[in-house]
Amino acid sequence: VNADRHLERMVRAASAAGDQGFAGLVIAPSPDLVYLSGYDPMPLERPTLLVIRPDAEPVMLVPDLELPPAREAPVGASIELIGWSDGDDPYEAAARLLPVDGRLGVGDRLWASHVLALQAVLPGCSFTTASAVLGHLRAVKDAEELTALRAAARAADSAFEGIRERPFVGRTEAQVASDLARLLVDAGHDRADFTIVAGGPNAASPHHEAGGRTIRPGDPVVMDFGGALDGYFSDMTRTVVAGEPPPGFEEVYGVVRDAQQQGVAAARPGVAAGDVDGVAREVIRRAGYGEWFVHRTGHGIGLEVHEPPYLVRGNDQQLEPGMAFSVEPGVYLPGRFGVRIEDIVSVTSEGAESLNRSPRDLLVVT
């Protein structure tokens, strides 16, 4: 992680902000701050604020007691750090770094307490979310970021390879979920962030929390799991079946697999993100399950597990090489079962490449 890479991102953010009519961006500890500066402190009530302006050098306002770690950050030596001490008004200090009027973009993760205090000291400014500028910059990954996403995806693949070898029947969802979490870390993740394991009728709830239900013979099991590896996220879903599947399951599985495949095939530069959703949704609708595909087709991924671009109806944002996102259609039949298949893909110059390589055919577990 080098300072140049982050300085270049700050320059691009400043010029994109200017192009879009922003007088400045105010970024607090968050994935935005990590992206721009490489600095990753805890968000606290004492504000740390990176100020990016189209017409000035970047400056970071830092509580005095956190100056040492801020100086150690990738850009700590190459941008101006301004300390403030307890008893000072940090918002007045921030106001001195910002124009008195114009549009400001505040980080989407900036706490309401900070935003309201900034609004009070900058009555002439209007405020909007910085993702209007940063969302697009962060959505288009550079080669290093794609390498990190690929490593995370392959580590998730290897966790799946591990879990499918283990017994399911007679174990609870929570036991399988804790095995999955351990496998994710064993495969190189810094940590496991989520491990959805949903068996039988529980699989009809897309964000089911793994619980005490014991997996029985014939249960379909949806597993959706991921974590961060070197800061970049994995997120994959596979649906397996413990033995002989219930009536109707194989048909639904085939429909979701087709929808997933066709969604990936539809992703290429110039295509609207919402149109990829449309392609996957149409496969499911034609098979008669449209009303049971209850969520969008996918989400961007990077320093956050959900970030732009969103593959959702009405999103006319055009895909570009370097964008990375999930393609994860599903069908959820209440009281019966659910099926979801999810891969992370990245847009290439002519199509999209799946970063996950695990088989998508139905796997029977024991």
Interface ranges with Zn ion (CB under 5 A): 224, 235, 237, 326, 342
In this structure, what token pair is assigned to residue 169?
């029947």
Q: How far is the CB of 239 from Zn ion (least distance, A)?
A: 12
User: Which residue's CB is nearer to Zn ion, number 157 or number 224?
Assistant: 224
User: Which residue's CB is nearer to Zn ion, number 235 or number 304?
Assistant: 235
In this structure, what token pair is assigned to residue 62?
């830092």
Identity of residue 241 = V
User: Which residue's CB is nearer to Zn ion, number 48 or number 346?
Assistant: 346
Q: Are strands 125-129 and 102-106 parallel, antiparallel or unpaired?
A: parallel
User: Which residue's CB is nearer to Zn ion, number 219 or number 342?
Assistant: 342
Mark 318-348 as b/e (b = at least 16 C-beta within 10 Å): ebeebbbbbbbbbbbbeebbbbbbbbbbbbe
Strand partners, 102: 125
Helix 273-286 × helix 249-266 angle, to 10°: 150
User: Which residue's CB is nearer to Zn ion, number 168 or number 233?
Assistant: 233
Q: How far is the CB of 193 from Zn ion (least distance, A)?
A: 10
DSSP SS3 for 366: coil
In this structure, what token pair is assigned to residue 193?
């962030």
Cβ atoms of 264 and 354 within 8 Å: the answer is yes
Q: How far is the CB of 260 from Zn ion (least distance, A)?
A: 12
Q: How far is the CB of 298 from Zn ion (least distance, A)?
A: 7
Residue the block writes with tokens 């597990």:
305
Residue the block writes with tokens 């590896």:
229
User: Which residue's CB is nearer to Zn ion, number 48 or number 234?
Assistant: 234
Q: How far is the CB of 264 from Zn ion (least distance, A)?
A: 14
User: Which residue's CB is nearer to Zn ion, number 7 or number 305?
Assistant: 305
The reply to whether omega before 309 is within 30° of 0 (cis) is: yes
User: Which residue's CB is nearer to Zn ion, number 207 or number 335?
Assistant: 207
Q: How far is the CB of 116 from Zn ion (least distance, A)?
A: 31
Q: How far is the CB of 234 from Zn ion (least distance, A)?
A: 9
How far does the chain reach from its first CA to its final CA, in angstroms?
A: 44
The burial class, CB within 10 Å (0-12 / 13-18 / 19+), for 240 is buried
Q: How far is the CB of 74 from Zn ion (least distance, A)?
A: 29
Dihedral, CA of residue 162, residue 167, residue 177 and residue 186, to nearest 10: -30
Residue of 160, 163, 164, 243 lying closest to 200 (CA atoms): 243
Q: How far is the CB of 273 from Zn ion (least distance, A)?
A: 14
User: Which residue's CB is nearer to Zn ion, number 131 or number 195?
Assistant: 195
Strand partners, 310: 299
Q: What DSSP state is assigned to residue 317? A: P
